[in-house]
Structure 1
Amino acid sequence: MTTTGSPRIPTASAARALRDAMTDQLLTDGKITSPRVEYAFRTVPREQFVPAGTALEAAYDAYQAVVTKTGENGAAISSVSAPFIQARMIEQAALQPGMRVLEVGSGGYNAALLAEVVGPEGRVVTIDIDAEVADRAGTLLDATGYGGRVTVTLADAEQGAPEFAPFDAVIVTVGAWDIAPAWREQLTDDGRLVVPLRMNGITRVIAFRREAGHLVSTSAEVAGFVAMQGAGARHESALPLTDAQGRRVELRFDEGAPENPHQLDGVLATEPAEVRSGVTIDRGVSFADLHLWFACFLTGFCWITAEKDVLALGTGRWFPFGAVRDDSLAYLTVRPAAGVTGSEFGARAYGCHAEAAAAAMVEQIRAWDRQARRGPAPTFAFWPTGSDELDLPDGVVVMEKIHGLVAISWPAAEKRST
C-alpha cells in the first residue's frame, strides 16, 4: 500500500504562474463562473496538497486528478480530484460568504478552496473514514494556514456530522451509490447537496435542492470518483470471461447481473457479429448521455474491461459499455463513417445470438438519437424511502436504492420502463 509524503516547497513563482494558468483555463472553459471561486483557485497552493515529488505541471493540470493513496491491489482509494470538477462542484453548491459546508471525503485542498469561498465568517467541516487520510488532510491544512477554518473529523460519513449541523451545503467528493439520510437531514431548508451519484454504473455529479419532501436536481456534470468506503459502500458484481487464447475480459454489473452466467462460457471464442447504426458523431463531441441512456434502457447493461487487443477492432474503436442478452455479449463500437468526417456508432457481439444482441444495442443507439440527443438534458430527483406519493412525469426511469428512489427524466423521450 502506498501513501503520500509530507508537504514540499517548490519555487513559489513557478507555482503561482501555473496556478494562474490553470485558473485562466477553468474560466475560459466555463468551469469557474463566479469571482469568489476564481479567487479561491488563484489563492490556494494546490502543490502543497499533492504527494511529494509530484511535478508542478501535474499538480496544476486542470483535468487530471492526483492519486494520494492506493490499496493493496493498486486501485486508488484517495485522491486530489481534478480541478475542473472541484470548480464545478463548488459552483453547483452556490456557496456564499458565511455559509457552513460539510465535505464528505477529505484531501485538504478542496476543503481549503471551500474555506476561501465561504470566507472567515463561514465554516467547513471535512469528514473521512480513513484515519491516515484524515490525519494527512489536517496536517496539510495546518501547514497552509487553513487549520483554523476547517474542522477535520474522522468518522463514517454515512451519519454525516450531526454535532456541526445544520449545513448550507453538503458536498460529497467520493462516488456514492445511494444518498444517506443524514446528508438530507443535516441540510438547511434551502441547502444544496452535491453528490457524484452512481446509477446502474454511470456517475453524474448532481446538485440537489429540497422540494416538497424530495430532492430535485439543479445541475449535473460528468465525472468519475473514487468509490465510497464504509456503510455506504456498494460492490459491483464481476463476471470474468476468457477468449480462445486465455486472455481475460471482465464484465461488471451495478445491478441486473445474469442469473445464469455459465451461458456465457466460451462466448468470446464464437464468431462475432457487427451491426451499424447509421448514427454518426463528429470528432471531439461528447456522447456521455448515450452512456446514461444505456444504463436506463439497455437490458443487461454492464461495464467491460479487457486485456489489450482482446476486443480490438481494426480501423474502429470499442468502448467499455456492453450488454448481456442471454448467451450473448454486445459492446459499443465506433468506426469511420462513409462520406462524413465523423464516426458511426455500432455494436459488436459474440455468442449464439450475437446478431440479436448487437441489434438490441443498436436499437437503443437509434432511440437515443431520435428521442434525447438533441433535446433537453436529463434531470434527476430523489424520493426518500417512505415518501407518501411519487409525482413522476412521463419519460422517467426509476432506480431503486436502499434509502429511496432515483428518478431520471428524459424530457424529450416517450414514457418507457426498464
Structure 2
Amino acid sequence: MSEDRKDDAADTRRAAELRGRLVDELVAAGHITSAEVETAFRTVPRHMFAPEASLEEAYAQDIVVVKRNEHGTPISTVSAPEIQAFMLEQAAIGSDMRVLEIGSGGFNAALISELVGPTGQVTTVDIDPDVTDRAARFLQAAGYSRVNVVLADAEAGVPEFAPYDRILVTVGAWDIPPAWREQLAPGGRIVVPLRIRGLTRSLALDRDGDHLVAQSAMICGFVKMQGDGAHHERLLLLRGEEIALRFDDGFPENPHLLDGVLRTERIEVWTGVTAGRGESFATLQLWLATTLAGFCLLAASGDEADGILVAPGNRWFNLAMVDGDSFAYLALRPVGPDGMSEFGVHAFGPHAKQIAETMADQIRTWDRDQRHGPGPQFAVWPIDTSDDLLNASPDGKPENVLITDKRHSRITISWPAAG
C-alpha cells in the first residue's frame, strides 16, 4: 500500500473518530434530541465541506469561515455544529419532505438530504457564485448530487421547486419576504434567524391564518443576509470609532444631542438582581428591547474604553438605551462567592440619573414577573395588519407587546401577563 493511501486511510479513521466525539457532545448538551438528526450528523462527513480547515477544526464546536469581504468580515461560513443541530431539530424535517435551504455551503444541505431520504427533495440557494460552485462540488464529491444547487437572490425564494414543506434559513434575516410565505406548503414551517432590534433568535414559524407564529425561539448569530433582503444598522459614534451605539431601527432624530456625552459624570445604579455564573439571561435582552424606548446596542473597542464605560474590574454588556441627551447601558459586578454577579446600569448625560433608574426598574420588573416564565411569543404579520389586532391578547389579559415594522411584515414580541 502506498504512503498516500495509508495517509488517506488514517485521515478517514481520524475523521470518523472526531465526528463521533462531536456528535456525542451535541447529544450530551441537548443540541441534538432526535435519533434522525443524530444519525444524519454521524453520517455526513463535515470535513469534506471544509477542506481549508484541519480535521480537528472541521469537527470543533465552532464555525469555519469560507469567505470574507474586503474588510475581513466573514460573509460565508460553515455554521457551528450546535446551531445547525438545534435548527434542524426546530425544523422537524421528515422523510419525503421538500426543503428549501436559504444560504448555502453544502454540509447543512447534506444533513437535510439524509433527513428527507431518497424520495424527498432538497434545494439550496445562495446569492454568491463562489459559494454555490463550492457547495455543488462538495455535495457531488460527498455523494449528495441529488441536491438542487441554485444561484439566486433568495428574496424571491426558488419558485422552480416550490412548494416547500420546510424553509430553513441559514443566514441572518431582518425580514420575512412574501415569497417565502407564498412558497410554503400547507402545514409547512419556516425556521429563520430573525433579527429584531439588533437581537437575533432562530424562530420556528408555523402558519396561523394570515400570519406566522413561532413554536420555539433560540438565541443564535449568523452572517447577515445579502442582496435585496439586506438591512444595515446605523451607528451613532460617541468617541471616534471606538465607542458607538448600534441601531437596528429607531435611530435618534437629534443624534447631535449626545455630542460630548462621555465627558459628563458616569452615574451608577445597582438593582439587587443577581445571576450565577453561566446562567442565561436571554429573556432580559428581549424584555429590555420590548419595554425601553430608544433601545440599542453598545459597541466599544480599544484601550480607551476601559475606565470610561466601566469601572476597573467590572464587566459591561451591550444592551443600551438613548433618551434625548443621555444614554445608559447594562452593567454587571461581582457580589460574593461562586461567581454571583449583580445587574446594574451605567449612564451618561444631563439626565443620566433618570435614564439609569428607568432601565433599572425594567430589570427589576423582568426579575419579578418574567424571569422564570415561559418567555415571549413571536409572530410575523402582514405589513397592513392594524395595531388593534397586533395588540390583542389571546386570553384577554394585558400584555407587554413590542411591534416592529419591517419592509414586508410586522413583527410582534408578546409577553404573558405578570404571574
Both proteins in one fold, TM over 0.5: yes
For residues 45-102 of structure 1, the C-alpha deviation after alignment (integer angstroms, 9 at most, x for no partner) is: 11111251x232222123x212111101111111111111111111111111111100
- Structure 1 residue 164 and structure 2 residue 161: aligned? yes
Following superposition, the deviation at residue 315 of structure 1 comes to 2.5
CA contact under 8 A between 1:26 and 1:84: conserved in structure 2? yes
**1:206 and 1:219 in contact (8 A); partners too:** yes
The answer as to whether partners of 1:335 and 1:345 remain within 8 angstroms in 2 is: yes
**1:325-368 CA deviation, whole Å, 9 max, x = no partner?**
21112111100125775100001112222222222211111121
Distance 1:22 1:313 in 2: 40
Is 2:7 the counterpart of 1:12?
no
3-state SS of paired residue (2:302): coil
Distance 2:155 2:337 in 1: 53
Q: Please give the alpha-carbon distance, in whole angstroms, between the structure 1 residues aligned to 2:373 and 2:316.
A: 26
Residue matched to 2:4: none
Distance in 1 between the 2:109 and 2:130 partners? 17
**Paired letter, 2:182:** E
Q: 1:287-325 CA deviation, whole Å, 9 max, x = no partner?
A: 111111121111211112112340343222001111112
Q: Are 1:85 and 2:83 matched, yes or no?
A: yes
Q: Tell me which residue corresponds to 1:222.
A: 219
Q: Are residue 59 (structure 1) and residue 58 (structure 2) matched? A: yes
For the residues of structure 1 that align with 2:55 and 2:265, how far apart are their CA atoms? 49
Cα deviation for residue 21 of structure 1 reads 0.9
Aligned to 1:408, the other structure's residue is in SS state strand
* Alignment-derived partner of residue 333 in structure 1: 331
**1:383–1:390 Cα contact (<8 Å) kept:** no
Code of the residue aligned with 1:404 in structure 2: it is S
Name the SS for the 1:277 alignment partner.
strand
SS at match of 1:57: helix
Asked if the contact 2:164–2:188 (Cα under 8 Å) also holds between the matched residues in 1, the reply is: yes
**Which of residues 259, 269, 277 is equivalent to 2:253?**
259
Q: Which has the higher helix share?
A: 2
Instruction: Write the distance in 1 (CA, Å) between the matches of 2:13 and 2:382.
Output: 50
Counterpart position of 1:359: 357
Alignment partner of 1:296 out of 290, 294, 300: 290
Distance verdict in 2 for CA 1:271–1:21, change over 3 Å: same
Q: Which runs of 5+ in 2 are unaligned?
A: 1-6
Any gaps of 5 or more consecutive residues in structure 1? 1-7
Q: Which amino acid aligns with 1:87?
A: A
Counterpart in the other structure of 2:73: 75
The counterpart of 1:285, out of the listed 270, 279, 287, is 279
Q: Which of 174, 199, 213 is equivalent to 2:196?
A: 199
State the secondary structure of the residue aligned to 2:159. coil
Report if the CA contact (8 A) 1:193-1:207 is conserved: yes
Question: Residue 390 of structure 1 aligns to which amino acid in structure 2?
Answer: L
Per mean C-alpha deviation after superposition, the further-off stretch among 36-45 and 330-339 is: 330-339
SS of equivalent residue, structure 1 residue 290: helix
2:49 is matched with 49
| 2:374 counterpart SS class | coil
- The CA deviation string for residues 248-273 of structure 1, in whole angstroms up to 9 with x for no partner, is 21211011111111111111122211
**Which stretch of structure 1 is more off in the superposition, 28-37 or 221-230?**
28-37
Instruction: Read off the aligned partner of 2:273 and give its amino acid letter.
Output: V
**SS of residue in 2 equivalent to 1:11:** helix
State the match for 1:29 in structure 2.
29
Question: Residues of 1 paired with 2:385 and 2:258: CA distance?
Answer: 40
SS of residue matched to 2:100: strand
The corresponding residue for 1:101 is 99
Q: Are residue 39 (structure 1) and residue 39 (structure 2) matched?
A: yes
* Shift in Å, 1:247: 6.9
| Map of 1:134 onto structure 2 | 132
Deviates more, 1:198-207 or 1:263-272: 263-272
- CA positional deviation for 1:154: 0.5
Residue in structure 2 matched with residue 5 of structure 1 by the alignment: none
Query: Equivalents in 2 of 1:271, 1:123: separation in Å?
Result: 61
- Name the stretch that deviates more: 106-115 or 398-407: 398-407
Give the aligned CA root-mean-square deviation in angstroms.
1.8
Inter-CA distance 315–217: structure 2 relative to 1 (3 Å threshold): same
Runs of 4+ in structure 1 off by over 6 angstroms are none
SS, match of residue 161 in structure 2: coil
Residue 266 of structure 2 is matched in structure 1 by 272
Which one-letter code corresponds to 2:188 in the other structure?
Answer: G
Cα 1:234–1:61 change in 2 (3 A) is same
Q: How does 1:173-188 map to 2 (within 5 A)?
A: 173-188=170-185
The one-letter code sitting in structure 2 at the alignment partner of 1:21 is R
Paired AA for residue 407 in structure 2 = I
TM-score normalized with structure 1 length: 0.92
After the TM superposition, which of the residue ranges 154-163 and 315-324 deviates more from structure 2? 315-324
Aligned twin of 2:370: 372
Matches of 1:361 and 1:51, distance apart in 2: 47
Cα gap change, 1:129 to 1:258, in 2 (>3 Å): same
Alignment-derived partner of residue 122 in structure 1: 120
Q: Deviations over 1:16-51 (max 9, x none)?
A: 111111111111111111111111100111111125
2:3: which partner in 1? none
User: What is the match of residue 212 of structure 1?
Assistant: 209
How far has the Cα of 1:238 moved from its partner?
A: 0.9
2:242·2:302 contact (CA, 8 Å) conserved in 1? no
- Opposite residue 414 of structure 2, the aligned amino acid is S
Q: Which amino acid aligns with 2:278?
A: G
Matched residue SS, 1:163: helix
Q: Percent identity?
A: 54
